[in-house]
Amino acid sequence: MKSLRVHFLPSLTSADELAGGAVVVIDVLRATTTIIHAVAAGAREVIPCLEIEDARRMAAGFPPGAALLGGERGGVKIDGFDLGNSPEEYNRATVGGKVVVLTTTNGTRAMMLCRQAKRVLVGAFVNASAVARALAQEEQVHLLCAGTEGKITREDVLFAGRVAYRLLGELAGSKPEQNDPCRLARESYQNLLSADGIDLSAGPDSRFEEIAALTQELRHSHGGRNLIDVGLEYDIGVAAQVDRFTIVPELSLESWSIGAIV
């Protein structure tokens, strides 16, 4: 790996800067967590759309019953949609074998910036270690935080920091070039571990300690407070379930749909 860069918001980078690199789109609360749940539950594909009407038109192009509309505005389900943006709505009973057409306030917008990338992966705490493994052989890596309504969110920065922490700890030989946000994100995550006395090498117990610490931290983040305000606090604990899945969804830039790599 030659370079590892974190971008705290889509507005703080550009399509040109991301061009040719491997990009991980991050929207922990909740779009990328939800996409991972959907793919793990057997959704045929997830199609991200920018606007509500774009999603309606896309879903209408499939045979009746083949596609589901999912997404949110202001954190709550869009009128007339089948599903909102709560990860556990996307289970095998609801989305298995279906196409999910998804539009969210922040996460799907971040994906639109990645059209010139070499590849685009979907990351959140629920597949954190799998994301790090998928990136290990990439030369240029970008961790792109979606933020919330144009503002930096701690949950996305912490996830970027976790991936950077893992990658830099496991890469042999020379370390990649890092930008300042990468260093800040990694230090933020290390500080969280230190504050709670968590040693990630200590075995299974450390994972449960990490989940507990993250759940508390995410409750106080911008995105977490927004979810609490609309009565969706439960989703915070779901999003903090580190390494629940071993899959990594990947956005095909040719078909503009998301499937899974293992």
pLDDT at residue 170 is higher than 80? no
CA gap 229, 57 in Å, rounded:
31
E strand spans, 118-224: 119-123, 140-145, 177-178
pLDDT at residue 186 is higher than 70? yes
DSSP designation for 78: P
Residue 139's pLDDT band, with cuts at 50, 70 and 90, is: very high
Q: Which of 186, 204, 187, 206 is nearest to 196 (CA)?
A: 206
- What percentage of the chain carries pLDDT values higher than 90? 92
pLDDT tens for each residue of 221-256: 999 999 999 999 999 999 999 999 999 999 999 999
pLDDT tens for each residue of 89-101: 999 999 999 999 9
pLDDT at residue 262 is higher than 80? no
Q: Which two tokens stand for residue 217?
A: 């931290």
CA gap 122, 116 in Å, rounded:
16
CA gap 187, 160 in Å, rounded:
11
DSSP string, 231-259: T-THHHHHHT-TTS---EEEEETTTTEEE
Mind listing the domains of the chain with CATH numbers?
A: 3-261 (3.90.1560.10)
CA gap 182, 178 in Å, rounded:
6
pLDDT tens for each residue of 42-57: 999 999 999 999 999 9
pLDDT value of residue 247:
97
pLDDT at residue 147 is higher than 90? yes
- Tell me how many helices (H) and strands (E) the chain has: 11, 11
80 phi-psi bin (left φ>0, alpha ψ -120 to 50, beta other): left
Q: Which two tokens stand for residue 16?
A: 């040109």
pLDDT at residue 172 is higher than 80? no
Q: What is the mean pLDDT of the chain?
A: 95
